[in-house]
Amino acid sequence: MRVLIQDFLPNRELFYGQLDMAAKNAFNMATLLVGVVDTAEGADRDQLFKQVDKLEHQGDDITHKIYLALDRIVFTPLNRNDIHVLAGAIDDVSDMIKEASTRINLYNITDISTPINELTALIQKACAEIQNSVALLRKHHADNEILIALRQVKLYERQADRIYYNAVANLFANDKDPINVIKYREILQSLENTINKCKSTADVLEVVLINR
């Protein structure tokens, strides 16, 4: 029994630690994305794009380490499949943040519309709630606190839906440049997909709470 406990405790911290790192990395990427839309073109903005790319690669490395650990470790602090799905869901958020950043960069978007600002702010807020929720998984009496945070993520997603659909409608109605319409619509779509991935991560966390 002592050997089992000795094996379990380090593994417990390994998985919680890696999930914490993944969630924090996604939040840091969301913060950089806010910086991108708040920064005028130039060297400072180019550096932000590079930092987003760097953190996305770090997120991939964290996810890979989690998957490798699942293959070799018998005793896990949460349901094995839940860990796998949660790690993938957080990684999806990071991937979508990178996609949005990349499109802003490639399309050389310097005139940032209000909906883009609003959506990036909501993404950052949602990622903050996810980071907080993942950090609280260590505590067995924090379920209510986690659920409150997850409900907030879903509220942000609903707000983002309204912003996105109104923005797209206004874009088609008022912008007569078809190339411009395509560029902005794709960026808005990436931002909408990002907040949807945040909501999917919240759904996964709810399942984690049920199964643990």
Per-residue model confidence (pLDDT) at position 10: 57
pLDDT at 7 over 70: no
Closest CA to 101 of 114, 116, 122: 116
State pLDDT tens for residues 144-167.
Answer: 999 999 999 999 999 999 999 999
pLDDT in tens, 12-56: 788 999 999 999 999 999 999 999 999 877 778 999 999 999 999
Average pLDDT, the chain: 93
Give the per-residue pLDDT at 8: 47
Beta carbons of 110 and 40 less than 8 angstroms apart: yes
Distance between first and last Cα of the chain: 21
Domain definitions of the chain by residue range: 2-211
- Quick one: pLDDT at residue 40? 74
pLDDT score of 73: 86
Spatial CB neighbours of 91, under 8 Å, sequence gap ≥ 6: 22, 59, 60, 62, 63
Hey, what's the torsion of the CAs at 149, 155, 161, 162, to 10 degrees?
Answer: -150
User: If pLDDT is split at 50, 70 and 90, which confidence band does 88 have?
Assistant: very high
- Predicted confidence at residue 42, as pLDDT, reads 75
Alpha carbons 143 and 155: distance in angstroms, whole number: 18
Q: What CA–CA distance (Å, rounded) separates 72 from 28?
A: 29
Q: Which fold has domain 2-211?
A: Methane Monooxygenase Hydroxylase; Chain G, domain 1 (1.20.58)
Q: Hey, what are 50's tokens?
A: 């590079």
Rg (CA), the chain: 19
Identify how many contiguous H helices and E strands the chain contains and give both numbers.
6, 0
The predicted pLDDT at position 5 comes to: 40
Torsion of CA 65, 69, 70, 73, to 10 degrees: 180
Residue where the block lists tokens 């990349």: 102
Rounded Cα gap, residues 164 and 170, in angstroms = 10
Asked if pLDDT for residue 4 goes beyond 50, the answer is no
Is the pLDDT confidence value at 6 over 50? Answer: no
